[in-house]
């Protein structure tokens, strides 16, 4: 699910991949991509959640394509719930980001970081 919230007067597009399993990412990615790409280039503050989600090699490829497609629209991206193997995968796609990208343990700290961008 992708939704736009406001924190300290700044819009944040929040995408929740929490609990997602391989083969189920496509509709969430499509919704997030549509929301992000509807904004002017270089303006999107994004918060992306991955708590209790699972990846496989196909998921990694989907995420790489997603990151490449939305990159021109992002100003900054905060990831929440990236642990274990997901952290390894994140480190693989992090070089695709040409904007500030950070990992956080909870939404509150992530939103605060984004609000400072």
Specify the number of domains making up the chain.
1
Taking only the tens place, the pLDDT of each residue in 87-97 is 887 777 777 77
pLDDT of 62 reads: 92
**pLDDT higher than 90, residue 84:** no
The CATH number linked to 23 is 3.30.750
What are the pLDDT digits (tens) for 27-45? 999 999 999 999 999 999 9
CA pseudo-torsion sign 7, 100, 65, 84: negative
Full domain range(s) for residue 57: 2-115
20, two tokens: 């997602």
């Amino acid at each position: 699910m992708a939704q736009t919230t406001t924190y300290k007067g700044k819009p944040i597009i929040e995408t929740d991949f929490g609990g997602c399993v391989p083969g189920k990412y496509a509709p969430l990615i499509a919704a997030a991509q549509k929301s992000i790409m509807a904004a002017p280039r270089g303006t999107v503050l994004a918060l992306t959640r991955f708590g209790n989600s699972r990846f496989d090699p196909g998921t990694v490829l989907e995420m790489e394509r997603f990151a490449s497609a939305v990159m021109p629209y992002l100003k900054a991206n905060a990831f929440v719930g990236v642990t274990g193997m997901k952290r390894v995968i994140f480190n693989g796609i992090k070089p695709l980001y040409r904007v500030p990208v950070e990992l956080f343990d909870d939404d509150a700290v992530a939103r605060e970081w984004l609000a400072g961008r």
